[in-house]
């Protein structure tokens, strides 16, 4: 308990899946949480749960590809809690799991980059100045092993996730002097609503493909990513910036 005591954390995608688990865990560890999501109903349910368990959290409707929404979210955090110390860029969308470049729909490509890449850029853009005002902070961006190797989510998805890694490294270099750290978590397959498509009959072969590449023999859970994000958000990782923490059941060891 208390690993994030005194910190104010904005978490995107907090209405379900990995973001929801992060919001629960961060609040349990003492953070004041601003949960952002387009799914207002699901988000409010998570915020209510956190409050019922003694945590401190508020909900903001957030389209992460909208600069105006980000300005409001960060302003709300500062007006409510006085500062921003942590940003966790979790929200994202999955594209076609097997999308080769020549077959990729251009509009789908634009959507994947606008949400998965631009969204994290905007969050960082608006949160960094507030972090600097308070003496520093930590940005944790949820990418994917699909940003490190091919064959883990489709071409557009992989491009966006690779972009997150490059962006995070640049933020680490540019703002290290301001004590703003920037790191990436690269999950493998995690059981979330986004990955539920793998449970369909049409994706049975794809699911087995991913399982065969995972030495631990099973997919991860959202809490596995939440604990990784917690470590990088906390002062326990105060000398870690510009790197990737891979949480994939051993896929990248193959």
Here the contacts of 215-220 (C-beta below 8 Å, separation 24 or greater) are 215/249, 215/250, 215/251, 215/253, 215/254, 216/249, 216/250, 217/249, 218/249, 219/188, 219/189, 219/190, 219/191, 219/195, 219/249, 220/187, 220/188, 220/189, 220/190, 220/191, 220/247, 220/248, 220/249
Task: Tell me whether residue 81 is one of the annotated catalytic residues.
Answer: no
CA 244, distance to chain mean position in Å, is: 13
Catalytic residue among 157, 175, 209, 227: 157
Q: Report the C-alpha gap between 119 and 112 in whole angstroms.
A: 10
Residues labelled as active-site residues = 157
């Amino acid at each position: 308990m208390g690993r994030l005591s005194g910190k104010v954390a904005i978490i995107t995608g907090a209405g379900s899946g990995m973001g929801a688990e992060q919001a629960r865990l961060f609040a349990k560890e003492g953070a004041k949480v601003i949960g952002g999501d387009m799914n207002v109903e699901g988000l409010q349910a998570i915020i209510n749960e956190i409050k019922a368990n003694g945590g401190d959290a508020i909900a903001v409707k957030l389209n992460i590809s909208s600069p105006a929404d980000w300005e409001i979210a960060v302003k709300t955090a500062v007006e409510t809690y006085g500062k921003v110390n942590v940003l966790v860029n979790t929200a994202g969308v999955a594209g076609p799991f097997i999308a080769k470049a020549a077959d990729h729909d251009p509009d789908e490509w634009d959507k994947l980059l606008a949400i998965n890449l631009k969204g994290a850029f905007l969050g960082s853009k608006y949160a960094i100045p507030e972090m600097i005002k308070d003496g520093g902070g930590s940005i944790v961006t949820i990418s994917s092993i699909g940003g490190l190797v091919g064959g883990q989510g489709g071409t557009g998805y992989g491009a966006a996730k690779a972009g997150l890694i490059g962006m995070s490294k640049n933020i680490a270099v540019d703002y290290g002097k301001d004590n703003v750290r920037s790191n990436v978590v690269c999950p493998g397959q995690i059981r979330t609503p986004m990955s539920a498509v793998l449970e369909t009959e049409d994706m049975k072969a794809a699911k087995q493909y991913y399982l065969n590449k995972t030495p631990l023999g099973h997919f991860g859970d959202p809490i596995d990513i939440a604990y990784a994000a917690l470590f990088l958000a906390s002062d326990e990782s105060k000398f870690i910036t510009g790197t990737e923490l891979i949480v994939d059941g051993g896929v990248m060891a193959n």
